[in-house]
Structures are given as C-alpha cells and as structure tokens.
Amino acid sequence: MANLSVITGFFLMGFSNTWELQILHAILFLVIYLVALMGNLLIFTLISLNGKLHTPMYFFLKNLSFLDLCLVSITVPKSIENSLSHSYSISFLGCVSQLFLMILFATSELVLLTTMSYDRYVAICQPLHYEVIMNRETCVKLAAVSWFTGGLFGILYSASIFTLHFCGSKKIHQFFCDAPSLLRISCSESHLAVYVTMVLGISLAILCSIYITISYCHIFSTVLNIPNTEDRSKAFSTCLPHLLVLMIFVTTGGISYLKPEHKSDSVLDLLLSMFYTVVPPTLNPVIYSLRNKDMKIALRKLMTRKYLSKALLPKFIS
C-alpha cells in the first residue's frame, strides 16, 4: 500500500496510565479470555465428538463457537500483552490484519445468528418440514454465506481504510484497530469509500436485526400456544437470553460506529467496545449451549469415557 512508507505502525490506547490498574486490566482480560476460550473449545469438542449432536442446530452452534473463539482472540491477547509490557505499539500490517479479521468474524457471527434464528423458526413453527428444509446441504450453504459475507466486508473495510493516508498522529483511540478510530486519525480529505462501506455494514446489521426480530415474534407466538406451562417457560428462558446478547452485540457495535467524532479520549469508549468484542464470545457458550440438556449429557459421557480410559489403562499395560 502507498502509505506503508509514510507510517509503519500505530499506538493503541490503554485503559489506564497507572501501573496497578494496568495489571488489574491484564488479569481481568486474562480471566475473561480463559472463560471464553474454555467454553467455546468445550462446545466445539463436544459437538465434534458426539454423533447425536450432528444436527443443524448444533452444526450452527459449532460454527458460532469457532467464530467466538476467533473473535475474542483477535483483540484480548494483544491488549493483555500491551498492559504487561507497557508498550501499546502495533505494526501497520498487524493493524491491517486485526481490522480485517475483526470485521470478518463479527460480520460472519451476525449473519450466522440470523441463520440460527431461521433454523429455530423452522424447527418450532414448521416442525413437519424441518428435516426437508434444513438438510445438510442447506446448512453448509448457509454457513458458507456467513463466512463469505464476513470476508467480503473485511476486504471492503480494510481496503477503504488503509488506502487513506496516515501522516499525523499514530495514536488510535481504542484498544484495538477499528474503523472509526483509524478514520479519526487519517489526514486524507475524502472518506467517501469508508462512509459507503459503513453504510453497507450498518444496513446489513439493521436487516439482520429486523429478520431476527420477526423470526422470534413468530416463535413466541407459536410458543404461547403450547399448553404445557413448563415447556412454554423453558422456550422463553432460552429465547430471551439469545435476544439480549444479540441486542448488546448490535447496539454497542452500532453506537461505536455511528457516534460523532470527538477529540477527547474517554475510557467509556473502550468499555463500550468491549460489549461487542468481548462480552458476546464470553456469554454465548453459557446462553446457547452449556445450559442445554443435550450438551450436559454429552459432557457427562465425555468425562465418563476419559475416567474409564484412565482406570483401564494401567490394567492394559500390566
């Protein structure tokens, strides 16, 4: 890129200038990262090893866990490293990669969540046609569409942002490279390509949110007709947390990209960005899978299998 010779790196913003608070931030992020890492890896492993979980719903959950794992790994480890080393620098190519991967995984997750709402709509509202509609070929195509959409927007955002000139400040007002913060420090006069890309991204988020809302309205309408109170409350307790995490993901991301530019640094902006980069990957394993009865059974079987293997191994060796 042309501006590679102008600027070779950037400086990310920290949560505090106090050493003790930096250590506290590093510990907090490490705990969050380990929780997200273990939760999503556990779900991915259980679905991969258990044949009974090879259904459309768990196929999408497996993809979601992988996306969450990637999404949280793009920003959190780098932020922990910066806090401990007291060096907030990131190379130009590292910033390009971080922005591309962030947009790729975040957009793919949004489209996948929309696909999952369609899957639940068909399962609850059209149960007799579920196996025909949600066959394996359809599931693979829907997952591929989510990845393709994420990759497309990742390329659009990266190309539009990093064809701009960065000849002034190197300090990014964020703990990772994101489009609004990079746009803020650019010295290019025209930002038309970036604004067009942002409009496309926001339009996609709005369309996905509307579709998910309509799908869940149909689901809730069907659930209300269930005569069994226990089954009805179980369905609501499962669906409502889904909508809550989605609302946090879309709303905080939208605010971060739509809020007016300002020159003063604010820790509130850093905290706001955490709600769409860190919180969903940490909460999704609990909300979508670890509360699920089938997942608990699969976990018990896996633990029992490992326990029996360890118990029988000494006898086999002797």
Per CATH, domain 2-317 is 1.20.1070.10: yes
Closest CA to 238 of 290, 278, 277, 279: 290
Is 184's pLDDT higher than 70? yes
Residue 19: the pLDDT is 78
Burial environment of residue 184 by CB neighbours within 10 A (0 to 12, 13 to 18, 19 or more): middle
Write down the pTM of the prediction.
0.86
Q: Residue 289: which pLDDT band, with cuts at 50, 70 and 90?
A: low
Q: What's the pLDDT at 260?
A: 64
| Residue 10 dihedral angles phi and psi, to the nearest 5° | -130, 170
Higher per-residue confidence, 309 vs 247: 247
- 273 CB-near residues (< 8 Å, 6+ apart): 174, 175, 176, 178, 252, 256
Task: Look over the chain and give the mean of its residue pLDDT values, rounded to a whole number.
Answer: 83
What digits encode the pLDDT tens for the residues 114-152? 999 999 899 888 888 999 999 999 999 999 999 999 999
Cα angle vertex 118, ends 151, 297, to 5°?
95
pLDDT in tens, 236-286: 766 777 777 788 888 877 777 777 665 555 667 777 788 888 888 888 888
Query: What is the pLDDT, as a whole number, of residue 140?
Result: 95
Q: Average pLDDT, stretch 81-86? A: 83
